[in-house]
Amino acid sequence: MAERLKKGDKVAWQTSQGTTHGTVEKTLTRPTDIKSHHVAASPDNPEYLVVSDKSGKHAAHKPDALKKK
C-alpha cells in the first residue's frame, strides 16, 4: 500500500515532460469532477488533489503515482 499523504505534504509525480513537484491540497474520498475529468474516488480507493508548484494547476492522482518529498 502507498504511503498516506496529508494536506501540505510536498510530492512529486511523473508526466510526459518529466518530474513535476507540487503540494497535496486534500484527500478525495468521493466521486469528483476536476475541469472535464471525472475522478472516481471512494473511501476504499482515495485519490489526492494536488497543485503543481510550477503551473498552479490542480490535478487528482492515485496514491501510487505520488512520491513524498
Model confidence pLDDT, tens digit, residues 35-59: 889 999 999 999 999 999 999 999 9
Residue 1 maps to a domain: no
Number of domains in the chain: 1
Q: Which domain holds residue 16?
A: 10-68
* Confidence grade of residue 2 (pLDDT, cut at 50, 70, 90): low
Residue 28 scores a pLDDT above 60: yes
* Residue 22 included in any domain: yes
- Sign of the C-alpha dihedral, residues 34, 9, 43, 18? positive
Query: Is 29 inside any structural domain?
Result: yes
Q: Is residue 5 part of a domain?
A: no
Question: How does 31-45 read in b/e, with b if 16+ C-beta sit within 10 Å?
Answer: eeeeeeeebebeeee
> pLDDT digit string (tens) for 5-27?
999 999 999 999 899 999 999 99
Which burial class, exposed, middle or buried, applies to 3 when counting CB atoms under 10 A from its CB (0-12, 13-18, 19+)? exposed
Full-model pTM:
0.89
Q: Higher pLDDT residue, 2 or 31?
A: 31
- 31 Cβ neighbours under 8 A, 6+ residues apart: 38, 39, 40, 41, 42
